[in-house]
A and B are shown apart, each in its own frame.
Chain A
């Protein structure tokens, strides 16, 4: 019997709020199935299952805010017998935070047994939202417990207005998450930075010629070439690709390229494109389009939030010449692409006008040094010189 627990969806996550179950007891689940949707500071995330088997129990209710590691469900492995007695209570002490004020990011308050009335978690959340005193209600549940329906039918003053600009994305909360992750990065990771200006004319010409023959739905963006070239370089220089944790550096076998997506209103997420080094460019572009769309709508998957092994951040068509980015822990490198710009360029003994881009590698000095970093940038440069091979 496996306990399926609230996953950590990033270095900065402490808790998440369950907003939807996609499974019921008795359902068969496989690894990678989306089993629940959890609201986090980074928006609503689809939680994927790491087990396979049959759902035995659901241990959390819609509206519960649960700490990372808190049990969500139990899953019986295939062939495992049904437990003869009631499942032992998962060995996680219930949170006993005394704060009764429903501020947005605070973990749900599960009151200490005693004076507070019995009520289901969902009922508590709704009551808190509507400013209803649970003690004033008559519960219809077991032992007089207040159920969600009891709260729903209770009269209440006008619901407090949420500050969130749109469902699933609370920019203030996201800003806090970014602040925590970036502060941790700068506190713990000794960054070093290397920049290289790369001749982008071959890639620019190839992209223009390719896109001229395509309808808009199949066109490529330079950003896709940047991601693929970065992934190829990362696969050649393993010290840039992986995670650093308490036991040191763990190089990754594949390159899951985090793609930094800026959200209007001040948010930023970097979901991962899995196995980017192996994806044909057209496939990579299609997946990137899907990823960006879901980042904007606040519907990313848990694996996309946690699997990134290196991040790519690109300024776009216009903007600053260069970007020295901050590494996203537990990763060990991030690659910042400035806006491509036409510059005078020396080829042989003549000066030519070429499209160029300045690429800046920020890397973790605990894992690599400047020589490795330079090798990485050289590999990236080389990949962009043969765009047709990307």
Chain B
């Protein structure tokens, strides 16, 4: 998967979990919880969706590594390959 593929997948799952967020409004460095106001339930739903879609099981201790879109793309790419 390319960076663009991962980015697209992440944004699709994010906007599925939080339908009121527009993909275009998500900045690379927006913090999912502090800026986009995902709560712990939303975040868990996102982690669950990424597991189902990409096969990447993100342990709780590594949640900070997907705290922003930019961080998540780097982290998920490393885990997929």
Contacts and interface: CB of A to CB of B under 8 A. Distances in A.
Interface stretch (B4-12, B43-51, B72-80): B43-51
A215 B51 contact: yes
Interface in A104-154: none
Given A262-B39, A292-B41, A316-B39, A217 B48 contact: yes
B24 interface: no
A139 B39 CA distance: 52
Given A165-B20, A211-B60, A264-B20, A219 B44 contact: yes
Contacts of A217: 48, 51-52
A264 B37 contact: yes
Contacts of A166: 19-20
A223 interface: yes
Interface in A274-321: 288-289, 292-293, 296-297, 316-318
Given A211-B60, A212-B59, A216-B51, A264 B44 contact: no
Contacts of A288: 41
Contacts, number: 50
B40 A216 contact: no
B18 A216 contact: no
B78 to A, nearest CB: 18
A318 B33 contact: yes
B57 interface: yes
A208 interface: yes
Contacts of B50: 216
Nearest to B63: A317
Contact of B57 (A215, A289, A316): A215
Interface of B: 18-21, 33-34, 37, 39-41, 44-45, 47-48, 50-52, 57-61
Which 5 pairs show the lowest CB-CB distances between chains A and B?
A216-B48, A216-B47, A216-B51, A217-B48, A292-B41
16 contacts: A165-B20, A166-B19, A212-B59, A215-B57, A216-B44, A216-B48, A217-B52, A221-B40, A221-B44, A264-B20, A289-B41, A289-B44, A292-B41, A293-B45, A296-B19, A316-B40
